Structure 1
Amino acid sequence: MQTMLPPGSDGPGSFRLSDRIFGVSELNRLAREALETRFPLLWVGGEISNLTRAPSGHLYFTLKDAQAQVRCTMWRNRAQLLPFRPENGMRVEARALVTLYEARGDFQLGVEALRQAGVGNLFEAFVRLKDRLAAEGLFAPAAKRALPHYPRRIGVVTSPAAAAWHDVLAALRRRAPRLEVILYPAPVQGSGAGSRLADTVRLASARAKDDGIDALLLVRGGGSIEDLWAFNDESLARALRTCPIPVVSGVGHETDFTIADFAADVRAATPTGAAELVTADLYEAGHRLAKLERALGDALQFRLNTLAQRLDRAALRLVHPRDRIAAAHERAEHLGLRLTAALARRIERMQSATHLLQFRLDSFRPEFAREWERCMRAGARLALARETLIRARADRLSTLAAHLQHLAPQAVLARGYSITRDAEGHILRSAAAARAGDDISVELAIGRLRATVNSTDGIVETDAPQCVSAEPRNHPGLPPCSKPD
């Protein structure tokens, strides 16, 4: 691996001065590259403080000891894999990469993994013991024993004050209420708990025949690796393997594994799971019995219903001949009444149809005398209306002719009016339209005059309307009139 050095340097740890000026971002980048190259992934132990959980899921905290502290960042994809929840004041060991946050020039650790302080040593001891016992064949699958199908009594090794004991009892009451349970009390945590658990397992093994237990449960609730360390005891593992009856271990949660889990015949994820495993066949048998009971009841009921129906049909066939004759006679009378009623309804419908056809025929038959009288009256009314209309139209025509004669231009001229035109034939409506010396023509009721304008006196501009006929202006041929002097 080659170490990146800034230009002008002679080697690691020695930078000679040069005339070049480095930018801050370039200097931070070179420092980051030098740190990440010089320091590989390493474990750093300390106490968590200033812990911040970002909405994005990232963790930001400070790792410190008595003399110093360093900023740490753990990205979401790493933080969500943690088996515990980090808190301020917790002593941890971080597997981290030494780096530099270039934007602010902050020296920090990029945390890849995090574990509680001391867990690493315990886990290594757990792995060494597991490998050694596995090499001896203590965990061989061939040595595992199957659980009894229908146990009558089981033993439980746990603390009577532990929540696991109450969980097991609750599960057994729910799944196999008639199953007897014997508690072999033992501490499940603390100094010497492993050896005392082993002694209790040996005691249960020795008394298994006298107590009549068919299986043994070793259970405890969840916790940290330190809390479950008693179940990683070698003597406990060997005691489990020498137990004459099958052993089920239900220690911790689903993700927790102990040496006892590997040494037991069957491992359950939780104490409740251990109780469910040992009663699986009993629980299933109860369901099967209930199902068979329901099926048997349904079959018996169906059989009884079938036989009852057959009995009813047979009873119906056992009728005295006199009763049969009476029933037949009654049916015949009933059919006769139905036939008579049907014929009566048929005749009634046919009569109704006949009356309807007769009515329709009568309605369409013409009455000639009445129709002739009606035609005569209509003809008289038509002649009277024609004469009335002709007289009204003649009166209207006479009135219009009189009006037309009264409004005719010649009639206006006959009353003393005249029409004056200029040399081009345009009608003069104002004296201002003519000048002295202009030739004009004056049209009278009889004849026409030719004249010359000597002068135009008394010209007055006015907006007064000119003399027109009293008839509406829908007669464009009527000329304007002028009164002669």
Structure 2
Amino acid sequence: MNFNSTANDVISVSSLNRMVRDLLESGLPPMWIGGEISNLTLAASGHAYFSLKDAGAQIRCVMFRHKLSLLPFRLAEGMQVELKGLVTLYEARGDYQINVDTMRSAGLGRLYEAFEKLKNRLNAEGLFDAARKRPLPVHPAAIGIVTSPAAAALRDVVTTLRRRMPTIPVILYPAPVQGESAARQIASAIEQASQRQEVDVLIVCRGGGSIEDLWSFNEEIVARAVAACRIPIVSGVGHETDFTICDFVADRRAPTPTAAAELVSPNQEQLRQQLEQGKRGLERALGRLLVDKSQRLDYLARRLSHPGDTMRRQSLSLQQAQSRLQRGLDNLFARRRFSLQLANSRLQRHQPQLTQQQDQLKQLGRQLQRNIRQLLQHRQQNLQQLAVTLEAMNPEAVLSRGYAIVQKRDGQAVKSPQELLNQERVLLRLAEGVTEAVIDHPQGAQPELPF
């Protein structure tokens, strides 16, 4: 780039700042820089503005919201940090600054490396899988808390639980939340709660702090205890921007201990409102039902008449029916009398000759007797012929002449030798009784019975 210029080569301030920005961004790669945070401002937009200084100099820095939200700790005034970013220029004010991509507490590089290493290993084992996460009980009978009795987080959790649902018992499983043996005692408290099965849900919590303060909840022994616990666990460790291994393994992660208490406890005010809404709905439904039934009762009452009125109407109807019946009977008797008179006059005109009819009746009687005798004789002859034929066909008569009937064991008569197997037992029915016989075919004529 040629910086030689003449009087006519005048550039604007914006052009100058743009040139400086391009030089900085192209000439200096992203690098790690260490120092102390000062003049920290957390804007409403979620961005962080601060200065990074050492004993002899300082530089302005900006960390935008989407980068800031990924930090495992909260920025604080005076914090010693190591950050990585791009050195650039904010053209509008001409401020030389660093756009920060990531950040870590100074000297904690090894802790972050250990955190990421354990996180990746447990994730590969499936301890973070959503499929193994258990739902939280909607109305727990008892709630357990694993934290230090002296922790401010315990007071926040208990206060929230008492405010939301004071009737739920709370059981504390005490354990220190930081220090050399804290991880082992936290894991022991979780295992103790899992074995006792006294509670329906367990809160593992502590307040915010630095990564060193929260490191007990990044230990593998705690992660294994959370994964093995038979009770659903809510992790409420640190503040909203703090993330621990315990958060990833737990069934639910709460941004704060207070939020954890709100997750596991029903809200009595909401329940009262729901109950009141249900009560009002029931009252409205019952009111509508009563109105409907009252209208129905009024309708039926209008249809229901006095028994005296009903009897009078029925008496009047009975009298009218009796009058109609009497008129009908009188008309019927009159028609019958007229018909009888008409028939009598016809009978008088067609009076039969009784003597002639009697003679004819006698002749018919005699002829009937002759026909009956002839029919009986004919039927007797037929019967005799049938008796002779039946006697001739009677198998008993055949048997009396020395013949026999061959039957199988089921009583079926045998008509052909082919129906019998060799050595098969058969019945011989004779004139004076029944005996058995064994079939002996000529060899090869019939297959033998299987034995």
Please report the TM-score for the alignment, with normalisation by the length of structure 2.
0.51
Q: 1:90 to 1:146 in 2, by over 3 A?
A: closer
Name the CA shift for 1:311/1:142 in 2 (closer, same or farther; >3 Å).
closer
- 3-state DSSP of counterpart to 2:84: strand
User: What is the deviation of 1:132?
Assistant: 0.7
Report how far residue 259 of structure 1 moved: 0.8
Alignment check: 8 A CA contact 2:48 2:68 kept: no
Contact 2:165 2:266 in 1 (8 A): no
- Partner residue, 1:263: 249
Are 1:110 and 2:98 counterparts?
yes
Aligned partner of residue 209 in structure 2, secondary structure: coil
Q: Distance in 1 between matches of 2:244 and 2:201?
A: 20
Instruction: Report the 3-state secondary structure (helix = DSSP H, G, I; strand = E; otherwise coil) of the residue aligned with 2:57.
Output: strand
Offset at 1:59? 5.0
| Cα shift at 1:90 | 3.3
Q: 1:203 to 1:304 in 2, by over 3 A?
A: same
Alignment of 1:450-465 (within 5 A): none
Deviations along 1:320-356, one digit per CA (max 9) or x if unpaired, are xxxxxxxxxxxxxxxxxxxxxxxxxxxxxxxxxxxxx
Structure 1 segment 271-420 matched on structure 2, within 5 A: 271-280=257-266, 288-304=274-290
* 1:253 maps to which of 239, 251, 256: 239
Rounded Cα–Cα distance in structure 2 between residues aligned with 1:138 and 1:160: 29
Equivalent residue number for residue 119 of structure 2: 130
The Cα shift of 1:64 comes to 1.6
| Structure 2 counterpart SS, 1:225 | coil
**Among 198, 203, 207, the residue aligned to 1:221:** 207
Deviations 1:234-293 (A, max 9, x none): 101101111122212222333332111111122223323323332359987665544333
Listed as ranges, the gaps of 5+ residues in structure 2 are: 5-12, 307-451
Q: How many Å separate the matches in 2 of 1:32 and 1:297?
A: 72
SS of match in other structure, 1:203: helix
> Equivalents in 1 of 2:18, 2:292: separation in Å?
93
Match of 1:237 among 223, 245, 256: 223
Q: 2:166 aligns with which of 138, 156, 177?
A: 177
Equivalent position of 1:205 in the other structure: 194
2:64 is equivalent to residue 74 of structure 1: no
Counterpart of 2:432 in structure 1 is none
* Distance in structure 1 (CA, Å) of the matches to 2:217 and 2:138: 27
User: What one-letter code is carried by the residue in structure 2 that aligns with 1:63?
Assistant: K
* 3-state DSSP of counterpart to 2:235: strand
Report deviation, 1:152: 1.2
RMSD: 4.9
CA deviation map 1:292-332 (0-9, x unaligned): 3333333344545666788899999999xxxxxxxxxxxxx
Retained in 1: the 8 A contact 2:63–2:99?
no
CA distance in 2, matches of 1:263, 1:58: 30
- The amino acid across from 2:100 in the alignment is E
CA contact (8 A) 1:149 1:282 kept: no
> What is the alpha-carbon distance in structure 1 between the residues aligned to residue 37 and residue 202 of structure 2?
43
Contact 1:251/1:271 (8 A) holds in 2: yes
Q: Tell me by how many angstroms 1:185 deviates.
A: 1.6
**Counterpart Cα distance in 2 of 1:58 and 1:152:** 43
- Which whole-Å CA distance do the structure 2 matches of 1:213 and 1:53 have between them? 40
Q: Which amino acid aligns with 2:61?
A: M
Does the 8 Å contact 1:168/1:272 carry over to 2?
A: yes
Distance 1:307 1:100 in 2: 81
Q: Distance in 2 between matches of 1:51 and 1:283?
A: 40
Take 2:296 and 2:40, find their aligned partners in 1: how far apart are those partners? 84
Distance in 2 between the 1:251 and 1:273 partners?
Answer: 10
Q: Contact 2:60/2:97 (CA < 8 Å) preserved in 1?
A: yes
User: Aligned pair in 2 of structure 1 residues 302, 127: CA closer, same or farther (>3 Å)?
Assistant: same
Distance in 1, Cα, partners of 2:90 & 2:268: 62
| Structure 2 residue identity aligned to 1:64 | D
Which residue of 1 is the match for residue 185 of structure 2? 196
Task: Report if aligned partners of 2:233, 2:252 keep a CA contact under 8 Å in 1.
Answer: yes
CA distance 1:265–1:315, shift in 2 (3 Å): same
SS in 2 for 1:73: strand
Tell me how far 1:155 sits from its aligned partner. 1.1
Instruction: Kindly indicate whether the alpha-carbon contact (under 8 Å) linking 1:134 and 1:140 is maintained by their aligned counterparts in 2.
Output: yes
Residue correspondences, number: 295
Give the structure, 1 or 2, with the largest relative contact order (CA under 8 Å, sep 6 or more).
2
Instruction: Report what 1:332 is aligned to.
Output: none
Distance change >3 Å, CA 29–CA 294, structure 1 → 2:
closer
Q: SS of the residue aligned with 1:299?
A: helix
Pick one of 139, 157, 163 that aligns with 1:150.
139
CA contact (8 A) 1:249 1:260 kept: yes
Aligned equivalents of 1:171 and 1:59: distance in 2?
34
Kept after mapping to 2: 8 A contact 1:52/1:61:
no
- For residue 90 of structure 1, the aligned residue among 64, 74, 79 is 79
| Counterpart Cα distance in 2 of 1:101 and 1:274 | 41
Once the 2 structures are TM-superposed, how far is the Cα of residue 130 of structure 1 from its aligned partner?
0.6
